[in-house]
Structures are given as C-alpha cells and as structure tokens.
Amino acid sequence: MHRRISTYSSSYIIEYLKVDLSGGKRIELILKDLSPSSLLLTADRIRPHFLYDPRREIRTYRHILRTARDNTPQFYGAFESNDLERYWLFLERVSGPLLWQAEGMDPWKDAARWLARLHEGFYSVGQGTLDSSVGHLLRYDRQFLEVWLIRAEEFLKHKHRLHDLAALRRFGQIANRYDRVVKRLLDLPASFIHREFYPSNIIMRKKPRNRAICPVDWELAAIGPSLMDLAALTSGEWSVEARRAMVTAYRETISQVPGGLPTLDEMMEHVEYCQLHLAVQFMGWAPDWSPPERHSQNWLREAIRLGEKLGL
C-alpha cells in the first residue's frame, strides 16, 4: 500500500492510497480521517462544534448512498471506535475536474437535475417514514434554523460595530421578521439533502463519453428543505437568466413533490428564501471567519438584498 497526504484536505486529513491486492489488481482509494484529532486547526477553530459528528458521513455512505444509483464515490468500508476516538472512511478516489472549473451552463444544469433525482428518491425521509438508519443526520427543525440568526446577530455586532451601521439596522429589521423565513422553510417539502452542495464539492467524474455529477463531502448531510441544496448550487454572482435555467432544469426533472409541484416563479421564490438563510448561516458560522474565496461575498449585503426582494 502506497500513501500520501492530499493537498485537497480542508477540514480533515485526507490520504490517497494505492492498494495492490493479492490477485495483482491495484485500486486507488482515499482515506478520510474523521477522528477529532484529524480535524485541521483552522476547521476546529471556525466550525460550530454542534455540527460535529464523525459518524455522520460514514453512516451516510453505509446506509443511504448507493454508487450505482447516485453516482457517488464507492464506499469500501470504515473503521469506527468510540474508545479510540478513531473514525476512518475508505472511498473510491474519483478523478475529474470540480464543477466550478466547468465551462458553459450544461454541467450546472446537470447538477440541478442530479439534485432533483436525489430529492425525489428521499421525500419519504422528510415525511419521517424511514427507520433509524437516518438518525445520524442533521435536522432542519425550528431550533436549528433559529440558532443561525442568533449567532449571526451576535457576531455581526462585533464584526461591524464601528461601521456599516445602516446595514446593521436594516439587517435588524429582517431579523425581527425572520420568523416568516423560518415558517416558509419549515413548510417546504423536506428530503435527504447534502447541505453543502457547492461547486467545490462536486466532481465531474470522467466517463468514456461524458462527465457525470459526483458530489463528495457529506459531513453535514441532513434532513431539511430540499431546495436548500438548489439554493447552494445557484448562489453567487449568477445572472437571473442563468439561475432561472438551473431552477428550470431541476423543476423539469422532478416529477412528484409532496403538496404538488410549484410553478417556476414560486420555486424561484422558495430558492431565494433558502438563499437568505444560507447568507445568515455564513454570517453565523464563526465570529472572526471569512469563507474561502470560492464562497466569498458580502453576505450581509446579500441578506439585505434578498430580504428586500422578499418584502421583509
């Protein structure tokens, strides 16, 4: 077995493994060390501790994801030991560029279609009809949604206390009406969601004739509003037309939604509510943290823009 540390390691130490089997076959794996001691210093400092569960991603691969159906990395096995505080996840090493490196809109619309198929297959999870195999997932209940606003307000007071007073006052108005956002999100159909469906977490798997969508990094997998994933995919500096094209691809792929399929305009508005919550979540992540460059933008300004558009 040949091992080397991956430069892709962002939250946890990741190793690339080349394993020579007894029959002469070689397989390439990644070892994702989800143990507390493996959590990189920066991630340990900025990630809210209530999100940490080293077993969540392991059990998501073990009980929920299926390579053939979902085109996710093949699960080769895991080692879990509470006594040793050791949690190792062994996965197929998938080759290919990340979605943000793609040219044109087609790959992005493919990602939206992939999401639609995932969500449609797991609406029963959101309805609470599956067994305890999903007990490890985060839950988008009222408390989980409201905690991000509390954190965002607290951190913003310190980060912007000497400037942006007008923006802080405007955000305070949105915060006073945030119960409307929480209610809207809780009313949306819930499913099994990735929760961080950003282009940096989506590999375009190389295939003989095309590239297939392959999401990775399921550390924060959850049961929540399915459109939170679509909101993550379509966040950023997109034109209205480009964002609408991705939402259209999602809507045209999904055939059945609890409560009925919304119109395109209704779905666009639902996505905007989810994006407002994503902005609040980024602001509430850590008191002195700025997201990586690929996620970097003025989230306070984005929250105000969306709040005004939604009449809050």
pLDDT digits (tens, 9 = 90+) for 24-76: 899 999 999 999 887 765 555 567 888 989 899 999 999 999 876 788 999 99
Token pair recorded at residue 194? 């990735």
Q: Does residue 46 contact residue 10 with C-beta atoms inside 8 Å?
A: no
61-65, 153-157, 192-196: range with lowest mean pLDDT: 153-157
* Model pTM score: 0.90
CA distance 293 to 14: 21
Q: What does the pLDDT read at residue 29?
A: 95
**Beta pairing class for 138-139 and 222-225:** parallel
Give mean pLDDT, residues 9-15. 78
CATH architecture observed for domain 1-93: 2-Layer Sandwich (3.30)
Highest mean pLDDT among 120-134, 146-160, 187-201: 187-201
| Domains 1-93 and 95-312 in one fold | no
84-93, 103-112, 150-159, 202-211: range with lowest mean pLDDT: 202-211
CATH hierarchy code of domain 95-312: 3.90.1200.10
Q: Which residue has the tokens 């599956």?
A: 130
Task: Give just the sign of the alpha carbon dihedral 152, 215, 248, 184.
Answer: negative
CA distance 304 to 301: 5
The residue ranges of every structural domain in the chain are 1-93, 95-312
CA distance 244 to 222: 25
Give mean pLDDT, residues 96-115. 93
